Amino acid sequence: MNKEDEKRSFWKTELFHLLLCLLVAFVAARLLSLYVVQFAVVHGSSMETTVSEGDLLIVGKMNYHLAGPKRFDVIVLSKDGKKDLIKRVIGMPGEDVRIEKGIIYINGEELHEDYGMDPMDPDAEPVEIKLAKDEYFVLGDNRLASLDSRFSTVGPVQRKEIQGEALIRVYPFNKIGVLS
């Protein structure tokens, strides 16, 4: 083999290895984003003061492959092709959810929440819903500005529409931290 053939062979081999590495990296990144973790950007003010417009969040998916969402989890969901919605889980599968005069009742008992949020309008139309075995009732923390399960455009959220749990805010840098 002459020197020119050796160079061509070297470049073919190196190019093959480079393309193979890029393919493996692409497949690994895709699998990670499908099953383990993804990023989400907050749009709107429905989850103020927990998260704000423009915040960048890390969304964990693996925990929801092992067990479903829990009450009060902050989740990212996709509903009818809308941008990612970020809401808090309030009602669990099979529960009766009723909202009357700004108070949430789960299976007839008042729900006591221990995080900061705006109250709901006590004069708003009452809401009453029986969740199916794979449905969740979600609300934004900023109850006066949130499009959530109280409204027919969102309604109950099916398990398959939930992408994962919002775990960590990574931007803006002065607000980096774990979400609760």
Name the pairing type of β-strands 157-158 and 177-178: unpaired
- For residues 106-134, average pLDDT: 84
Indicate whether 130 pLDDT > 90: yes
Tokens of 36: 């383990």
Per the model's pLDDT, the better-predicted residue between 136 and 147 turns out to be 136
Would you say how long the chain is, in residues? 180
Based on the number of CB atoms within 10 Å of its own CB, is 5 exposed (0-12), middle (13-18) or buried (19 or more)?
Answer: exposed
Cβ atoms of 57 and 166 within 8 Å: the answer is yes
Q: What is the pLDDT of residue 6?
A: 67
Tokens of 59: 């969304």
Least confident of 2-11, 18-27, 89-98, 109-118: 2-11
Catalytic site positions: 46, 87
Give the DSSP H or E segment for 166: strand 162-171
Give the DSSP H or E segment for 41: strand 37-41
Structure pTM?
A: 0.80
CA dihedral (140, 36, 170, 39) positive or negative:
negative
